[in-house]
Structure 1
Amino acid sequence: MAVYLFHGEDRFARLEAVAALRREHDTDGALTNNSVSFDGARVSLGELGAAASAAPFLGGVRWVRVDGLCARFGVPRRGARQMGEWDGLPDLLPQIPPTTVLVFVEDELRRNNPMLRLIEPLADTREFARLKPEQALDWLRGEVRRRGLHLTRNAAQTLVDRAGGDRGALTHAVDKLSLYAGDANVDETIVEAMVPAMRSVSIFNLVDAVAERRLADAMRALDGVRAEGEPEARIIQMLARTYRQIVVAREVIDRGGSNEDIQQAANANFAWLARRLRRQAQAYTQASADAALARILEAEVSMISYRRNHGGLPEDVAVDLLVAELAGAR
């Protein structure tokens, strides 16, 4: 039995670990035809059991991934677990054949999450927390050495102060600085000019929640982004950018393209981003992806019309309706 539970708020590190685990088990290249993914908010115990118990097809390993099952149950109400059929999960997991790799992937979880308590004793559990400032500096020094980037001590500290302990944000910042500076030294003034403060990370959480149709997460993230002062126009801009990439990724998938094809066509900077785009695009048809992008552009036009006193909707109302419609779509 190979059961894994990867959770924690450091999304970048978590997804990189999932990708590394998949590569480790894809020794014969057959996982393309032996992979199944489930939305934890919708999957039943029977569906999961059937998928995990199936034998691999022309390969040695079957890959089963479940996203957000623990989040589905949240924190139990006092005096009631309300797990339903999922109380049977501890009986199911030991029956999974050794040819199946079952991976549960979650965001940050509270320790009293009832599903976490069911899975954790039976799984290889790994938590991916944000790096503390000292850890982030050590990690950043190693990353810039690997990239050959010349970052001054003050610049490194400024970068950590602005990007925080999120490895995804730090990696994205180092990538930008590498393209800009090349072999030149990077000091703190360059970092301040090119790396936005940590609030920009929150908008990525919002966009991902919308694209993955996690309505409750999307509305919470929207409140957080606004509390940090992010303009409504910036939210629209980031949604449009992501859905354009999803439209492109869907086109690549429909013609049988690889993750590398998605990365090139969608102009994605990282391989992990291409993998995420594939996962997100698989939840859409070409028509539904096109319609979502058209809806974003419609909201933008409505906001512009309102500013010009030509009808339309106030910016906050337009964005509220847009996020609710896209994230709540089924």
Structure 2
Amino acid sequence: MKKLWDEIKTGNLSQCYIFYGGEQYLKKQYENRLKQTFTDSLSGDMNISIFNGEIDVNNIIDAAETMPFFAEKRLILVKDSKLFKTGRKNDSEKMADYIETIPQSTCLVFIEDEVDKRGRLYKAAAKAGRGIEFKTPDEKELITWVQKQLKRSGIDIDIKTAVYFFGCIGSGMENAESELGKLAAYKGEGGVVSAQDIDEICTRSLEAKVFDLVDAIGQRKTDRAVEIYRGMLMAKDAPMMILTMITRQFRLMLQCRVLLESGTPQTNIAGTLGQKDFVARKCIAQGKNFTVESLKNAMKDCLEADIGIKTGKIKDDLATEMIVIKYSN
């Protein structure tokens, strides 16, 4: 990404980029930086065209063929086009053909969640420029980012509290920025963020609430587990989603146990599972409250509950509560 930032600063841009990946915050940041580069006092944003959704590719080509107004280049942003996935083959082929002859005066940027790198369009676009994957940074980078964000408001947060912050709100940067804004307004310049501040001010993610729920289940605190679960229902968290997240948590705990018992170093488990470090640490700690056999049984029961819900044999809220009670008892 540093290379892209340097290209934007110098104006030495390629003719085509593909921004893809799940971290919406970073994609939006670079999209905005590109817009700023192509906006000036003379022409305003006349040299920027934006297309959203499954737009007719002819409209994109027409815009790309338009000469820039009192500038060297014009910017074409194509967002969520689905051109890089199956389903729009003819349109993808047409766009791939066009990219091979795209004018030097055009900077064409596709912004997608998912892409098929094997497709002809991706290869053509990458040849004319490059593809850039926007992933959520690792834990160390996220902590540094949080500290910098708060420092702009004259507020400090230590590493341990920053880790706790992400454990409470999830790892998505877009949501994190919103929650940091709330903390900054609450603490004010010169403040130091504590775990108590986070508990009082920040909105806990569904993942964080499920961590709390599974903690109570593992500690055999049935009343507390049911209290957390019913609180989630009152907060309008869908029972089916809660069940899905509980199942995921049992699966991660089981995977952590198996990896540890096979000799995998604890520091490597997060990478092996494709999870953040704080998630892996939490799952390893929670997994100690269960046997391997009980985790296998829990996953089986969750699957049967899922099938029961989908076939209409049992209501989703009751099925999920039965899982909570059974494994916390």
Smaller-chain TM-score bracket: 0.5 to 0.7
Shift of residue 125 of structure 1?
1.9
Shift of residue 148 of structure 1?
1.6
Name the residue aligned to 1:34. Answer: 47
Cα-to-partner distance string for 1:175-228 (whole Å, 9 max, x where unaligned): 110100103222101102211223499xxxxxxxxxxxxxxxxxxxxxx97644
Cα-to-partner distance string for 1:87-118 (whole Å, 9 max, x where unaligned): 13333113222222211111244555664344
1:13 correspondence with 2:26 = yes
Name the residue aligned to 2:278. Answer: none
Describe how 1:154-193 pairs up with structure 2 within 5 A: 154-182=160-188, 183-193=190-200
SS at match of 1:125: strand
- Percent identical pairs in the alignment equals 18
Of stretches 54-63 and 174-183 in structure 1, the one that deviates more from structure 2 is 54-63
Amino acid at match of 1:103: V
**Conserved in 2, the CA contact under 8 Å of 1:49 and 1:92?**
yes
What is the distance in 2 between the residues matched to 1:18 and 1:43?
A: 22
Rg bigger for which structure? 2
What is the distance in 2 between the residues matched to 1:200 and 1:28?
A: 46
**Conserved in 2, the CA contact under 8 Å of 1:28 and 1:60?**
no
**Conserved in 1, the CA contact under 8 Å of 2:35 and 2:48?**
no
1:197 correspondence with 2:212 = no
Amino acid at match of 2:141: Q
Q: What is the Cα-based RMSD across aligned positions, in Å? A: 3.1
Name the residue aligned to 2:258. Answer: none
Of stretches 58-67 and 172-181 in structure 1, the one that deviates more from structure 2 is 58-67
What is the distance in 2 between the residues matched to 1:111 and 1:161?
A: 33
**Conserved in 1, the CA contact under 8 Å of 2:38 and 2:74?**
no
Name the residue aligned to 1:124. Answer: 130
SS at match of 2:50: strand
Counterparts in 2 of 1:173 and 1:6: CA distance versus 1, 3 Å:
same
Using structure 2 for the length normalisation, give the TM-score. Answer: 0.53
Name the residue aligned to 2:103. Answer: 97
Shift of residue 159 of structure 1?
0.8
**Conserved in 2, the CA contact under 8 Å of 1:26 and 1:61?**
no
Name the residue aligned to 2:292. Answer: none
Amino acid at match of 2:67: A
Of stretches 4-13 and 139-148 in structure 1, the one that deviates more from structure 2 is 139-148
Name the residue aligned to 1:55. Answer: 67
Amino acid at match of 1:7: Y
What is the distance in 2 between the residues matched to 1:227 and 1:150?
A: 39
Name the residue aligned to 1:74. Answer: 85
What is the distance in 2 between the residues matched to 1:176 and 1:199?
A: 19
**Conserved in 1, the CA contact under 8 Å of 2:24 and 2:174?**
yes
Residue segments in structure 1 that go unaligned for 5+ positions in a row: 77-81, 202-223, 230-330
Name the residue aligned to 2:92. Answer: 86
What is the distance in 1 between the residues matched to 2:124 and 2:238?
A: 33
Using structure 1 for the length normalisation, give the TM-score. Answer: 0.53
Counterparts in 2 of 1:129 and 1:227: CA distance versus 1, 3 Å:
farther
What is the distance in 1 between the residues matched to 2:63 and 2:125?
A: 17
Of stretches 22-31 and 157-166 in structure 1, the one that deviates more from structure 2 is 22-31
What is the distance in 1 between the residues matched to 2:107 and 2:238?
A: 36
Name the residue aligned to 2:37. Answer: 24
Name the residue aligned to 1:271. Answer: none
Name the residue aligned to 2:17. Answer: 4
1:143 correspondence with 2:156 = no
Counterparts in 2 of 1:125 and 1:152: CA distance versus 1, 3 Å:
same
Amino acid at match of 2:85: G
SS at match of 1:147: coil
Shift of residue 144 of structure 1?
2.2
**Conserved in 1, the CA contact under 8 Å of 2:18 and 2:111?**
yes
Amino acid at match of 2:33: A
The number of equivalent residue pairs is 202
SS at match of 1:95: coil
What is the distance in 2 between the residues matched to 1:13 and 1:47?
A: 27
Amino acid at match of 2:138: K
Shift of residue 43 of structure 1?
1.9
Name the residue aligned to 1:268. Answer: none
